[in-house]
Amino acid sequence: MTDADHDVDGSSESSAATDGGERIEGTFLVTAAEADSAVLKDVESGQVHALSSNPGVECDDVIEGVVSLDPPLDVSYQLVETSSRRTLPVERSDEPPTAHSKELAAEQDVGDLTREERAGTGEIHVITVPEDDTEAAVDDVLEDEEQLRSRAARLGVDRVEVRSSPGVLSVRYMP
């Protein structure tokens, strides 16, 4: 732990909770947004925070910031600081998986998943699927946009791209 990780009094401070649990700093995915409320999911812990108002966020936004319990009942939260806000597109690509992704898929059994860091930032997930079920597998992956966006936010990337060819599905988390 570095000196920067300590408060003035020398105690360490978690990035997850401060001030006795009343303030939570993190990266949040907006999972629901209405005119007068919103729901944020902490992409690290999975904790859900219902906001008592909507500070202008939209569903699927990724927010880096701080939420704080909303007094006096402390049952809802307010977004009290925002250091960044972005959207993370999830796209089905017409491009086939790379040759490297196809090689990885050929080395594993149907149903297996290989995760590999990208050069620089991000990850590539390669899944070997039954050739006849490739399109259904792509549809299944794309249906879970919340999970794809949460993982992309944890990785600090800006977009998710799903590529496929018969028997191979790759999910690319890219800057």
The last residue of a domain, from among 54, 87, 120 = 87
How far, in Å, CA of 79 to CA of 100, rounded?
A: 42
pLDDT by residue (tens digit) across 70-96? 888 889 999 999 999 999 999 999 999
Residues 34 and 103 in one domain: no
Residues 74 and 29 in one domain: yes
Residues 46 and 119 in one domain: no
Residue 3 phi/psi, 5-degree rounding, is -60, -30
pLDDT at position 173 is 98
Sign of the Cα torsion 4, 10, 15, 19 reads negative
pLDDT at position 71 is 86
For tokens 């998710």, the residue is 160
Residues 19 and 59 in one domain: yes
Residues 145 and 106 in one domain: yes
Q: How many CA atoms lie within 13 A of 170 on its CB side?
A: 24
Residues 143 and 116 in one domain: yes
Domain count, the chain: 2
Token pair listed for 135:
């399109």
pLDDT at position 95 is 97
pLDDT by residue (tens digit) across 21-69? 579 999 999 999 999 999 999 999 999 999 999 999 999 999 999 999 9
DSSP one-letter code for 96 = P
The last residue of a domain, from among 67, 87, 107 = 87
Residues 63 and 95 in one domain: no
Residues 104 and 68 in one domain: no
Q: Which domain holds residue 9?
A: 3-87
Q: What is the pTM of this model?
A: 0.82
pLDDT confidence bin for 124, thresholds 50/70/90? very high
Q: How far is CA 8 from CA 5, 18, 22, 40, 48, in A?
A: 10, 14, 19, 30, 30
Token pair listed for 34:
């209405």
For tokens 């879970």, the residue is 144
The last residue of a domain, from among 87, 109, 143 = 87
CB 68 within 8 A of CB 131: no
Residues 151 and 107 in one domain: yes
